[in-house]
Amino acid sequence: MLDSQIVAPSAKPSTLAELLEQTPLHSNILLCVSGSIAAYKALELASMLKKLGAQVAVVMSQSAQRFITPLSFEAITHNKVLCEHSEEWSTMDTSVQKLDSSSSKADRPHSCNHIAYAKWADLCILAPATASSIAKLAHGIADNLLTQTLLATSAPILCAPAMNTAMLESKQTQANLTTLAAMGIQIIEPKSALLACNTKGIGALADVDELVFALLKASKADRFWLDREVYITGGGASAMLDPVRAITNHSSGLQASALAIALYTLGARVRLISSSFPTPLPKAIEVEQVRSNDDYKQALLRLNKQRKKHSKQRAILLMAAALADFAPKYRATSKIKKSKTTQLHLALEPTQDILASLDSSDFVKVGFKAEDSLEIGLSSARAMLLPRENGGKDCEIVCLNTLDSSPFGASHNAFTLLNRQSLQDSSARTLPHSTKLALSYEIASFIKASLEHLESNA
């Protein structure tokens, strides 16, 4: 039986909320709900955002209240819902009216109006966005509290359409969406599903996970990462013995998925190459499922060839996959039969070091190293920073973790980060035990600082 200190598949996060644990969304988010059957999903979105630590306030159109009550949102957000019967102008406090009974009077603002809510917001999301609300927003028609609030805010606005396919694809709606996009409003594409009108087609509100990813990206976007090409490898490679058996490892792919989410929300163009995808991912992340060492290498070479057609900037490669160090020297062409009288002897041979083989003129190489002890790991990590001609792998950065710091498949990890400066002064940055997503943001920050230092000295 495998040691529970080494393998913990049950520890994988099963929901986005679990994955985002300890990755707080410190923003005031104004959720604007228009009259669609998809309004019930806005309640789920509000709940998710609260779990992430965001402050959430809600504005509802009159028609939205036919589908869901303001009280439902107030129970989740602990903020007064702004709607026709709740708006007041007795004072001009610019905060949101708290319903939390533990708050003191001094902490409670007394105004609940579209100007106060518009000023309070760091981010606004119109979800669901009906054809009518989209048209009004595009043309500056402020005939209800929802559009009045959106016109009054200076915060970034996201728009998540939800409507019948024919309405969505109409020339008028498409023109209005184009107008909103030209204004800098982010459109979160609807999905294809069975709609309320009992037809299947595009027009359903995007999944709540996708809405959360969009809000994370809007709040965390970093100019350094904007449109940078980032390739991430994850999971464990398999070396086939025969058509049905393989030598592999327990890498879950969770750290790679967390890195992909972090770098996507920071603004990078992310490609994830992995044997497994254990978490929800933004649809904009391009994924490729692979199995063998050669699959990983060919995928990277193909992406690099495509990149060179439109960019001279090196891609940033985070090699988080657990590749096979050894593979069977001979692979059986048919299934190896079990025998009571014979033993199976395998001849294994070393595999090519893919990270070392890749040209550093094409990739900024970020290596990942797992070792039994920190002492051995630091020595191995520093060796990876050396040039290839000196036996290294030309890595700019190495992320080291010890096998006792986190079992395979766990949602938490710990890292020691090294860069080229570490070869001169033995410096290293320690990231204490935390969620893999929280660590991914720290790793991204370290990469940014290291590359900015290199670029400034170039």
Q: Is a pLDDT exceeding 70 seen at residue 250?
A: yes
3-state secondary structure (DSSP) of residue 162: coil
pLDDT, tens only, 212-245 = 999 999 999 999 999 899 999 999 999 999 999 9
Give the pLDDT mean for 292-306. Answer: 97
User: How high is the pLDDT of residue 93?
Assistant: 56
Does residue 124 carry a catalytic annotation?
Answer: no
397 pLDDT tier (thresholds 50, 70, 90): very high
Name the packing angle between helices 436-456 and 254-266 (round to 10°): 60
H helix runs in 170-292, sequence order: 171-182, 208-220, 254-266
Judge whether 176 and 185 are in contact, CB under 8 Å: no
Q: Are 120 and 28 in contact (CB under 8 A)?
A: yes
Does the annotation list 335 as a binding residue? yes
Q: What is the spatial order of strands in the sheet that 28-33 belongs to?
A: 55-60, 28-33, 123-129, 157-161, 186-187
List Cβ neighbours of 122 (8 Å cut-off, separation of 6 or more): 27, 28, 29, 155, 219
As a whole number of Å, the end-to-end CA separation of the chain is: 52
- Catalytic residue, from 32, 112, 159, 197: name it: 197
pLDDT tens digits, one per residue of 14-66: 577 777 776 778 889 999 999 999 999 999 999 999 988 899 999 999 999 99
Kindly report the pTM of this predicted structure: 0.90
| 200 has binding-site annotation | no
> 56: which 2 tokens?
């959430």
For the chain, list the domains and their CATH numbers. 25-218 (3.40.50.1950), 221-333+345-456 (3.40.50.10300)
Q: How far apart are CA 81 and CA 46, in angstroms?
A: 12
Torsion of CA 209, 210, 212, 218, to 10 degrees: 160
12 marked as binding residue: no
- Rounded CA-CA distance 185/171 in Å is 19
